[in-house]
Amino acid sequence: MADGPTTSPTATSGAARRRTVLITGAGGEIGHGLIDALHAEGGFDIVAMDLKELDGALRGRCAAAYTGDVTDAGALAKVFERHGFDVVHHLAALLSSSGERNPELAHAVNVQGTLNLLRLSNELARSRGRDVQFIFPSSIAVYGMPGLAAKSDIGAVHEDRCLNPITMYGVNKLACEHLGRYYADHYMRLSPDAPKGRVDFRCLRFPGIISAHTLPTGGTSDFAPEMIHAAAKGEPYACFVRPDTRIPFMTMPDAVRSLLTLAAAPKERLTTRVYNVGAFSPSAAEIADLVRAAFPAAEVSYKVTEARQAIVDSWPASVDDDHARRDWGWAPQHDLRAAFSEYLIPTIRKRYGA
């Protein structure tokens, strides 16, 4: 049940022309970065929702903060009644490994939670007569490469190929992509007066994301951030995938920037609702080499977990993000070298005093 809002001292009251943004999963990895970025940009009243209390620093950047569950439709409705959202960034999800430990819970959170938010966004848009922008992070987990040889042959996968996910999370994300399209373009087709095109659904298929500030929980791409952070802490790390494992990644700053750039893109520029975004596609061994170069004492070994290996083997080696580059100017700031030299290593060293 969503608690009452925690209104922060920075909350603005009555300021015209500010945009009200809901961020679900606000306490998660992307949520941290998104709140910081929106707060720094200014002009947004940020309403945060998470299962857990937001930490003090984050809460201070929000106009309101709720502890609540996206599967609780009644609690969500109360939050929508209190705030006339212009934008919804729906980040709350159970990731791929967590989803395999509790697939029914993953479906409830990932799909029913998203449906709850799409319905409320559509109703809000209809009552106000103007769009609600719905920004949704999908994932490379929607892909299911038909074997390692095909993964290598196909290389950079296009948005329309190999959509055969093998995890509940990937199935959920693909379903939510279609739910978003339905609410945006096809809602209640047999009812001519039903609100159409009022949910401005925009979706990114994220690769693995590496943050210097936070560690992921429950993902299968987590081997990369886990390896880097362990080295910085002087802890040995047993990588749960093979050295040759290759999937696409990007840094957290690039992930946050991609969400904000897509949200800011003029609607008429967008030729699709779902975009790949990528930045670099290292193997686990290449990541380990960069980690050892930065932390020579790093102890990286390999202890493969076959079930998690099968998941990342089903994901593409890289993604074709030409549509995002063409339609709304996507361009990562960090390639692999810059990710380490400009962002990860200096920031992580500072964080751990390494």
Report the nearest approach of ligand AKB to the CB of residue 325 (Å): 21
User: Could you say whether residue 319 binds ligand AKB (CB under 6 A)?
Assistant: no
Pick 120 or 241: Cβ nearer ligand AKB = 241
Report the nearest approach of ligand AKB to the CB of residue 275 (Å): 15
Taking CB positions, which residue lies at the least distance from ligand AKB?
Answer: 219
Q: Which of 23, 118, 140, 210 binds ligand AKB (CB under 6 A)?
A: 140
> Quick one: which segment of 124-132, 134-142, 262-270, 332-340 binds ligand AKB (CB under 6 A)?
134-142
Residue 38, number of CB atoms within 10 A of its CB = 24
Distance CA(157)–CA(237), nearest Å, equals: 30
User: Could you say whether residue 250 binds ligand AKB (CB under 6 A)?
Assistant: no
Identified catalytic residue from 169, 183, 237, 275: 169
Using CB under 6 A as the binding rule, the residues of this chain from 3 to 62 that contact ligand AKB are none
The C-alpha angle with vertex 203 and arms to 201 and 205, in degrees rounded to 5, equals: 165
User: Could you say whether residue 258 binds ligand AKB (CB under 6 A)?
Assistant: no
> Quick one: which segment of 40-48, 153-161, 213-221, 300-308 binds ligand AKB (CB under 6 A)?
213-221
Q: Is 237 a catalytic residue?
A: no
Distance CA(143)–CA(205), nearest Å, equals: 10
User: Could you say whether residue 122 binds ligand AKB (CB under 6 A)?
Assistant: no
Distance CA(255)–CA(60), nearest Å, equals: 23
Strand, coil or helix: 265:
coil
User: Could you say whether residue 251 binds ligand AKB (CB under 6 A)?
Assistant: no
| Alpha-carbon distance values, 221 to 46, 96, 110, 209, 224 (Å) | 29, 9, 18, 8, 7
Site string for ligand AKB, 148-177 (x = CB under 6 A): ---------------------x--------
Q: Which of 24, 67, 221, 251 binds ligand AKB (CB under 6 A)?
A: 221
CB 140 within 8 A of CB 154: no
User: Could you say whether residue 206 binds ligand AKB (CB under 6 A)?
Assistant: yes
Give residue 348's identity as a one-letter amino acid code. I
How many chain residues are in contact with ligand AKB, going by CB under 6 A?
Answer: 11
Q: Which two tokens stand for residue 72?
A: 């609780």
Distance CA(90)–CA(246), nearest Å, equals: 28
User: Could you say whether residue 225 binds ligand AKB (CB under 6 A)?
Assistant: no
First to last CA, the chain: 41
> Quick one: which segment of 102-110, 137-145, 178-186, 325-333 binds ligand AKB (CB under 6 A)?
137-145
The C-alpha angle with vertex 63 and arms to 61 and 25, in degrees rounded to 5, equals: 70
Q: Which of 214, 220, 314, 318 binds ligand AKB (CB under 6 A)?
A: 220
User: Could you say whether residue 96 binds ligand AKB (CB under 6 A)?
Assistant: yes
Q: Which of 219, 225, 278, 316 binds ligand AKB (CB under 6 A)?
A: 219
Site string for ligand AKB, 51-70 (x = CB under 6 A): --------------------
Per DSSP, what are the bridge partners of residue 210? 251
Give residue 102's identity as a one-letter amino acid code. N
User: Could you say whether residue 95 binds ligand AKB (CB under 6 A)?
Assistant: yes
CB 138 within 8 A of CB 205: yes
Distance CA(124)–CA(103), nearest Å, equals: 31
Strands of the 87-90 sheet, one edge to the other: 64-67, 44-50, 19-24, 87-90, 132-139, 199-206, 274-276
CA 183, 188, 191, 194 torsion-angle sign: negative
Using the CB atoms, write b or e for 88-108: b if 16+ within 10 Å.
Answer: bbbbbbbbbbbbbeebeebbb
User: Could you say whether residue 141 binds ligand AKB (CB under 6 A)?
Assistant: yes
User: Could you say whether residue 295 binds ligand AKB (CB under 6 A)?
Assistant: no
User: Could you say whether residue 318 binds ligand AKB (CB under 6 A)?
Assistant: no
Q: List interacting residues with ligand AKB (CB under 6 A).
A: 95-96, 139-141, 169, 206, 208, 219-221
Positions annotated as catalytic residues are: 169
